[in-house]
Amino acid sequence: MSSCLCNPFQSIFSSNSKYSEVSESSESKMTQKNPSFVLQAPRSVIYEDRPIPKLKSPYDVIVKPRWTGICGSDVHYWVEGRIGHFVVESPMVLGHESAGVISTVGDKVQSLKVGDRVAMEPGVPCRRCVRCKEGKYNLCADMAFAATPPFDGTLARYYSLPEDYCYKLPDDMSLEEGALIEPTSVAVHITRQASVKPGDSVVVFGAGPVGLLCCAVAKAYGATKVVTVDINEERLQFALKYAATAAFRSRKESPDESAKRLIQECDLGPGADVIIDASGAEVCIQTAIHALRMGGTYVQGGMGKPDINFPIMAMCTKELNVKGSFRYGSGDYQTAVDMVSTGRVSVKELITDKVKFDEAENAFRDVKAGKGIKILIEGPTE
């Protein structure tokens, strides 16, 4: 891994003997200079005083994260200590869906000043490789992404980022809404991958935060029919009130039957123009492929089992466009800020709970138990 811009503590990790010297008990965290919520091992978290990050370049800023949303990946690391080949091998600060206030700016920073409120894009690419240069920096192999090992996350008092990875929030946008820009950007990227056009029918499998946001963004892009699919009735009802124009409850039946019922019940004619999977469930993916029209577009947003049975014959004979979607790329964060600030996508109603920094672990428990939609953790008090 090349040197990175957002992990000033990497050197501590390389000599793991130092790590115990900086650990402190939870009681003392109010006196800590840079209290950080650190995952030590699966299910084992501690508040640790980490060194205050220094500006690595004159183009960097230091941000004080004020609100951080918890996402499935954070919980996954907390429970399992790994996601696929990303393994937490040394203690790592959690959190990556944050908005905060600028506390220090480098000499060359032009667009930001101390006190500015910003949404923090948590992944900084190398800027030099072919993928970066062609504008697809989310595919950079040298990405330093918050709370993806070995890079520290944002659940700390201070976090350093390059200026251009901080997006100023308009005055009428709260920092809580700012924390929701991360999942909104995920939905913007998925919807872009799907090339949703005015008049399209769009089906979204999964009514979790990203699925809900995909419904909202697809609608904002002009989709006339937006169908939410889930097994949970409560979530479907929420999605209908929030952004979906129709709901479909999946049940135990073959993907083929399910697809037929979906098309019939939701009046999708020859099949849906676009289907987005935000569930990662094998049966959803199979149903989606069968429910698409000839020449339709499928985008995989959810991550579940790494390998599944895929209806490849249907994909071939219908000439489907099948695409992946990973995080967000050039322009997605700004689009998300613009969509929320203009009211085309609303995120307030997705925030179902807010907890103090000292209660961060409870928030992780609640997310794991499937409580609420999006839980936010407040940054450490001064």
* Residues in contact with Zn ion by the rule CB under 5 A: 71, 125-126, 129, 132, 140
3 or 381: CB nearest Zn ion: 3
Q: In the complex, what is the shortest distance from the CB of residue 31 to Zn ion, in angstroms, rounded to a whole number?
A: 31
Measured from the CB atom, the residue of 69 and 255 that comes closer to Zn ion is 69
Pick 72 or 106: Cβ nearer Zn ion: 72
Q: Tokens standing for 294?
A: 């000839």
The CB-of-134 to Zn ion minimum distance in angstroms stands at 10
Tokens of 351: 């925030």
Q: Which is nearer to Zn ion, 244 or 367 (CB)?
A: 367
Least spacing, CB of residue 137 vs Zn ion, in Å: 6
Whichever of 121 and 163 has its CB closer to Zn ion, that residue is: 121
Amino acid at residue number 268 = L
Instruction: Compute the distance between CA of residue 348 and CA of residue 370 in angstroms, rounded to an integer.
Output: 19
Whether residue 83 contacts residue 73, with contact meaning beta carbons closer than 8 Å, is answered with yes
Nearest distance in Å: CB 136, Zn ion: 9
Tell the smallest beta-carbon distance from residue 59 to Zn ion (Å): 17
Q: With residue 49 as reference, give the H or E element that holds it.
A: strand 44-49
3-state DSSP assignment of residue 196: coil
* CB of residue 216 to Zn ion, shortest distance in Å: 17
Identify which of residues 182 and 361 has a Cβ nearer to Zn ion in the complex: 182
Using a CB cutoff of 8 Å and minimum separation of 24, what contacts does 168-174 make? Answer: 168/111, 168/112, 168/116, 168/117, 168/118, 169/99, 169/117, 169/118, 169/119, 169/337, 169/341, 170/337, 170/341, 172/341, 173/337, 173/340, 173/341
Q: Please list, residue by residue across 236-266, b when 16 or more beta carbons sit within 10 angstroms of its beta carbon and e when fewer do.
A: bebbbebbbbbbbebeeeebeebbebbbeeb
Residue 2 Cα to chain centre, angstroms: 24
